[in-house]
Amino acid sequence: MKKMMYHLFCLIGCLCMLSLTAFSETIQLGIPPTFPATPLPQEDIGTITRATRALSVNPQNWQASRDLYYSHYVGSEGVAMGWTGNHVSCTAGTTTQAFKDVMLLELNYFRAMAGIPAGVTFFNEYNNKDQQTALMISVNGQLSHDPDSSWTCYTEEGKEGAGKSNIRMGYPTLTHNIAGYMKDKGSSNSAAGHRRWVLYPQTQLMGTGDVPSAPGYQWAANALWVFDSHTWDPRPTTREEYVAWPPPGYVPYQVIYPRWSFAYASANFGSATVTMTQNGSPISVTQETYVTGYGENTLVWRPLGMADDATWPSEHLVTYTVSVSNVLIGGSPRSFTYTVIVFDPAQPVSSMDNYLLWTK
């Protein structure tokens, strides 16, 4: 009898652990927003949350890539949201400055690694509107870029934020919101539109709204405002003439996702193809349907037949060579080749020293 009870308790424990695992992984990501119909007015830059400094990094230097990963990606973890709102009274509230600051760390980490201007700041007006958007999402348990007045806690400001933001919700919590948009999982996100807005070179000002779950309100929510008055500015100088994710150079495996992308402003990828090798051997590639309307024109694909919601394996010093062909730029076809070296930043420095010596 005791033995039966022991096995029963073990079974219950395992089921609880499985339930908690599924519970923590329930994330929903809406479709990405499209370009606004009209330019946004010039912002009053006196009311912004400033990034500590504009970032730049050369991912060809593995130590620089590793250091930035720890300082800005890992460094963005573990800060309490400190939400002051209330679901029942439809009070959008706000979050702590420290919470917003670490989200900027993560946001500018991805932009710096991609080789685009990485001094994005949060504009308070956008924060306030997105705070109302996030509350509406959390209370209603729905994602929409065009919510109507039937939504509980509806406001016009929240509706505006929904139309100008990346939006997601999680059960029971959300972490690494920017990474969630960069991964861009889901069948409706094959164009990686959320990623394309995070990595849009012209953007200088964004906003964030964040609401946790609560008893009776199971969904935590985030809205990331992605349009500003600079959306139609001339394209700034970028490290490469294209914007790729993952970018060329050394990239931690933790920020490699099943969907890879290659963006080039005004390019036509309608007839473009992509091939890849892994440590010199060809691997399979599944190209996603080419779609415009989100940030810069972009080709998206999945290597090795990976599912879009999969997690990249914990590889160390695995070299991928990407070749993109027949990209029409100004009516003329062009080809591009670059190399991504996936590495584990937790591995000892000696492993890198040996690798660099071997590859000389």
pLDDT above 60 (res 245): yes
Amino acid 45: pLDDT: 73
Amino acid 268: pLDDT: 98
Fold (topology level) of 242-349: Immunoglobulin-like (2.60.40)
Mean pLDDT in residue range 235-240: 97
Mean pLDDT in residue range 179-185: 98
The band of 7, judged by pLDDT with boundaries at 50, 70 and 90, is very low
The CATH architecture to which 27-34+55-225 belongs is: 3-Layer(aba) Sandwich (3.40)
Amino acid 360: pLDDT: 55
The band of 359, judged by pLDDT with boundaries at 50, 70 and 90, is low
The DSSP secondary structure of 69-129, one letter per residue, reads IIIIIGGGSS-------BTTTTB-----HHHHHHHHHHHHHHHHHHTS-B--EEEHHHHHH
The DSSP secondary structure of 276-331, one letter per residue, reads EEETTEEE-EEEPPP--SSSS-EEEEEETT--TT------SSEEEEEEEEEEEETT
pTM above 0.75, yes or no: yes
Mean pLDDT in residue range 121-136: 98
The band of 173, judged by pLDDT with boundaries at 50, 70 and 90, is confident
pLDDT above 90 (res 219): yes
The band of 50, judged by pLDDT with boundaries at 50, 70 and 90, is low
pLDDT above 90 (res 4): no
The band of 22, judged by pLDDT with boundaries at 50, 70 and 90, is very low
Query: Which ranges in the chain are annotated with CATH 2.60.40.1220?
Result: 242-349
d(CA 115, CA 136): 35
**DSSP 3-state of 59:** coil
Mean pLDDT in residue range 153-169: 99
Query: Which ranges in the chain are annotated with CATH 3.40.33.10?
Result: 27-34+55-225
Q: Give pLDDT tens digits for 253-291.
A: 999 999 999 999 999 999 999 999 999 999 999 999 999
What share of the chain in percent tops pLDDT 70? 89
The CA distances from residue 255 to 113, 148, 170, 198, 317, in Å, are 10, 36, 19, 14, 14
Amino acid 357: pLDDT: 52
